[in-house]
Amino acid sequence: MNRNLKLLIVDDSAFIRKILTNIFSADEDFIKIDTAQNGKSALELVAKNDYDVITLDVEMPILNGIETLKKIMEMKKTPVVMLSSLTTEGADITLDALEYGAVDFIAKPQNIFTVQGERLANEIKDKVKAAARVNVMSYMRHQNATLDRITSNEVETKKQTLFQKTASGDIVKKIIAIGTSTGGPRALHEVIPSIKGNINAPVLIVQHMPKGFTKSLAERLDSFSSLSVKEAEDGELLKNGVAYVAPGGLQMKITSVDKDKFKINLENSAPVNGHKPSVDAMMESVSQSKVDEVVAVIMTGMGGDGANGLAKLKDVKRAVTIAEDESTCVVFGMPKVAIQTGKVDKVLPLREISREINKIMGV
């Protein structure tokens, strides 16, 4: 449990500052709540105070969210949760922020009055409390190592693009299924670019993100990877050597259409475990398909989404199941719950997950 938390809210909207202040003031875990209307004022407060966590608006005058974040990381490595608009530009900037050290983000709903609703208020509090528990020094060390590896591999990946970024057919014997949430973009940037482009399997990815953000994530992963990475489309056949990112706001499932052929079904159905897309929804559909062999991976994230789906895959398929080790998780929630099912074969730090996948796939 978090107790005695000191919070700084940074937003140019007085209305948002007031709503967030009301949300956190009603929670006894927060003993100090300061506000700033721009990045410059925020940095002055950060210099004078030791906050446990900061919420930071992406788009602000005087000093924008990214520049403010960079300065905060230089001054005091404090956990930061970004507040982002539900736009393509907002998604791109938010993904930049996660690369620069932000722990998580909250997408502002288009109808801002819904922030005052109990469900969204609880989600905001949960995310901010989870962020407050993150050791940012350790997080940044892992982050910088990941970015260094991506940068060093980028030129080689681009050289190989013409040869490797070709799907090797739609006769699918194995499927790789990956689920993640808080800290997931960083984890995926570590794992996906290190998977060989010639693997004889498609990769299904569920990252808890809203609509629009998943497309930006897929495009970024594609630019760094030998695999082809794309946002999944309804009805398309799975192809080996392609990674499919579940679109925000939809459930991604697969169904068998023929022997060793599978298609993606995107459903605007109810959230599962509070999530749409949900890892459980995706993995359970794989468990009901005709594929024989599966590699199922649960990485960093809050809650327990994916644990039931992973367990079911282990029960009904020839599955190798992997959970990320606590030492590299931003939030050791989803992997912990998966491990507690007793169905996880291997618990691995982030840097070893892609190596294990390549080994299992024989590449």
Q: Are residues 194 and 78 in the same domain?
A: no
43-65 in b/e form (b: 16+ CB < 10 A) is: beebeeeebbbbbbbbbbeebbb
| Confidence at residue 103, expressed as pLDDT on a 0 to 100 scale | 95
Residue with tokens 């932000």: 102
Length of the chain as a residue count = 363
130 token code pair: 């989870």
Strand order, beta sheet including 242-245 = 228-231, 242-245, 203-207, 174-180, 293-298, 318-324, 346-348
Domain boundary among 79, 103, 134: 134
Domain residues for the domain of 130 are: 5-134
Q: Are residues 303 and 182 in the same domain?
A: yes
Q: How far apart are CA 69 and CA 89, in angstroms?
A: 17
- Give first-to-last CA distance, the chain, whole Å: 43
Q: How far apart are CA 83 and CA 135, in angstroms?
A: 20
Q: Are residues 314 and 184 in the same domain?
A: yes
**Residue 125 belongs to domain with CATH number:** 3.40.50.2300
Q: Count of CB atoms within 10 A of residue 233's CB?
A: 10
Phi, psi at residue 351, to the nearest 5°? -65, -20
What is the radius of gyration, based on Cα positions, of the chain?
20
| Confidence at residue 159, expressed as pLDDT on a 0 to 100 scale | 39
241 token code pair: 């050597």
Q: How far apart are CA 289 and CA 84, in angstroms?
A: 37
Q: Are residues 255 and 347 in the same domain?
A: yes
208 token code pair: 């808890």
| Confidence at residue 333, expressed as pLDDT on a 0 to 100 scale | 97
Q: Are residues 21 and 125 in the same domain?
A: yes
Q: Are residues 127 and 144 in the same domain?
A: no
| Confidence at residue 102, expressed as pLDDT on a 0 to 100 scale | 96
Q: Count of CB atoms within 10 A of residue 362's CB?
A: 9
Tens digit of pLDDT per residue, the chain (363 long)?
568 999 999 999 999 999 999 999 999 999 999 999 999 999 999 999 999 999 999 999 889 999 999 999 999 999 999 999 877 788 999 999 999 999 999 988 777 666 667 888 898 999 999 999 998 877 776 655 555 555 555 545 443 544 445 556 889 999 999 999 999 999 999 999 999 999 999 999 999 999 989 999 999 999 999 999 999 999 999 999 999 999 999 999 999 998 899 999 999 999 999 999 999 999 999 999 999 999 999 999 999 999 999 999 999 999 999 999 999 999 999 999 999 999 999 999 999 999 999 999 998
Residue with tokens 């956990």: 79
Q: Are residues 91 and 155 in the same domain?
A: no
Residue with tokens 């499919």: 244
Q: Are residues 124 and 153 in the same domain?
A: no
Domain boundary among 108, 134, 160: 134
Q: Are residues 96 and 28 in the same domain?
A: yes
**Residue 310 belongs to domain with CATH number:** 3.40.50.180
| Confidence at residue 143, expressed as pLDDT on a 0 to 100 scale | 58
| Confidence at residue 168, expressed as pLDDT on a 0 to 100 scale | 64
Q: How far apart are CA 330 and CA 321, in angstroms?
A: 20
Domain boundary among 75, 104, 134: 134
Closest CA to 293 of 276, 277, 314: 314
Q: Which residues pair with 303 in a beta bridge?
A: none
Q: How far apart are CA 192 and CA 224, in angstroms?
A: 8
Q: Are residues 107 and 197 in the same domain?
A: no
Q: Are residues 144 and 292 in the same domain?
A: yes
| Confidence at residue 151, expressed as pLDDT on a 0 to 100 scale | 52
DSSP letter, residue 50: -
Q: Are residues 151 and 94 in the same domain?
A: no
Give the global pTM.
0.91
Point out the residues that are catalytic.
Answer: 181, 208, 305
The domain tally of the chain equals 2
